[in-house]
Amino acid sequence: MQISEGLKSPIKPKDILGADIKISHLKRIDKVFNKGLHFYLDPKPIEIRKDASIFFRKSKFETDLNIGAKKIVNQFEDLKISVSAIAKLAELDLERSIPVYSIRQNPKDVANELRSLLYPIFENDLRNFLKALISTLADNNILVFEFVETHNKKEKANIDGLFLNPNVIVLKRQQKSFRREIFTLVHELGHFLLNREEIEKVDLYSWADKSLSSIERWCNDFAYYFLSGQFDNKIESISRADSSNDYQLALIEQVSKNTHLSKVALFTRLLMRQKISRKNYNLVKEDFEEQFRRKQEEENQVKELKKQEGIKQTGSTPKPINSPLLISTVQAAFYEGIINEYDFCRTLNIKPEKLDLYLQ
């Protein structure tokens, strides 16, 4: 049992299922669920309402969620409800402003229509582009949260993103692959457009598989067309990619730089369009994976060498990007006296000494 980890005498079912329970046991249970001790001491039965959790609204997900993923979902479901309540008290309108689309609509047509409204000015810097995209979504009442998992976290969530009704998207920070995070964000935007909630690991490699659900395929297609824009014409202009033309790598790299679609995503698109064979696709994919592995290995070797030489390592845990919509909501609530300084800082995950930066 997870709550017994590190104990000489494991906690038994009778220790937590009886009429009485030790506070120390409750604290260990709460390390799993992060609800606060007051949650377990409340004598009222738990209300199973569809508006309280996606787990009450859906019985099946695209990904088999581990405990880390479930904790993340619970955390942001609570945050969503909290922000919604704050907005209502501050008389702010956070209602969905973009209409619901249908899976019967062509994802390319929808992407071209939405690009004029939601696609930001292109930035070469991947993180800045991600921030700009989160900002344009905020302008249209779509609230995006990021969560960051440190390298030493024991229970890493096995998901990349989720969409929660009515207008919340949650992303896993992909510090080593912002292209992947950008694609995931737009994929989850597809779920928002269809108004189909989901919690998932977005797998580009399965994009070309026939077993992929129609909704997941629609969201992947939408994300591709939204990000590729006019550069889809260059992908369509390719008749074939094989060793005779160096697998069209020069063109693929050009499109990747100008769209922030990863080269893997673009080759997967070629596979779907039958412009590259499965054998050649696997060769290219394996080569990319080997390049990435070598790069990681080199970086680790440099870090280890610096450590042996006594050179102090710099760097800190990445901070989640805060949506301008979240910031403006808690600012309004603070000015109205609805929340205090502590709640303001906790909601934005900032230190108290940074408070003035958000209140100017």
Give the mean pLDDT of 191-199.
95
Q: Which domain holds residue 162?
A: 57-231+244-308
Give the model's pLDDT for residue 359: 83
Mean pLDDT score of the chain: 87
Confidence category of residue 15, pLDDT binned at 50, 70, 90:
low
Interval 60-90: pLDDT, tens: 888 888 888 888 998 999 899 999 999 999 8
My answer on whether 12 and 99 are in the same domain is: no
Is 315 a domain residue? no
Residues 64 and 37 occupy one common structural domain = no
| 71 & 10 share domain | no
Strand 168-172 relative to strand 143-147, pairing: parallel
Q: Is residue 219 part of a domain?
A: yes
How far apart, in whole angstroms, are the C-alpha atoms of residue 276 and residue 272? 8
Identify the pLDDT of residue 209: 75
Neighbours of 325 (CB within 10 A): 23
Q: Are 206 and 63 part of one and the same domain?
A: yes
Q: Give CA–CA dist 118/234, Å, rounded.
A: 23
Please check the confidence at residue 202 and state whether its pLDDT lies above 80.
Answer: yes
Q: 21 pLDDT exceeds 90?
A: no
* Res 156: pLDDT: 87
Same structural domain, 353 and 268: no
**Residue 316 belongs to some domain of the structure:** no
Q: DSSP of 98-149, one letter per residue?
A: SPPP-TTS-HHHHHHHHHHHHPPPP-SSHHHHHHHHHHHHHHTT-EEEEE--
Same domain, 298 and 341: no
Alpha carbon 128 to its chain centroid, in Å, reads 16
The rounded percent of the chain whose pLDDT value lies above 70 is 84
Place of tokens 């079912």: 13
Rounded-to-integer distance, Cα 155 and Cα 149, Å = 9
Place 277 in a pLDDT band, splitting at 50, 70 and 90: very high
In a domain, 318, yes or no: no
Residues 148 and 104 in one domain: yes
Domain count within the chain? 3
Q: 152 by DSSP, 3-state: which?
A: coil
Residue 238, in any domain of the structure: no
In the chain, what is the straight-line distance between the N-terminal and C-terminal CA atoms, in Å?
49
Same domain, 107 and 152: yes
Q: Which two tokens stand for residue 213?
A: 């659900």
pLDDT tens-digit series, residues 215-270? 999 999 999 999 999 999 999 999 999 999 999 999 999 999 999 999 999 999 99
More confident residue, 204 or 215: 215
Average of per-residue pLDDT across 2-27: 64
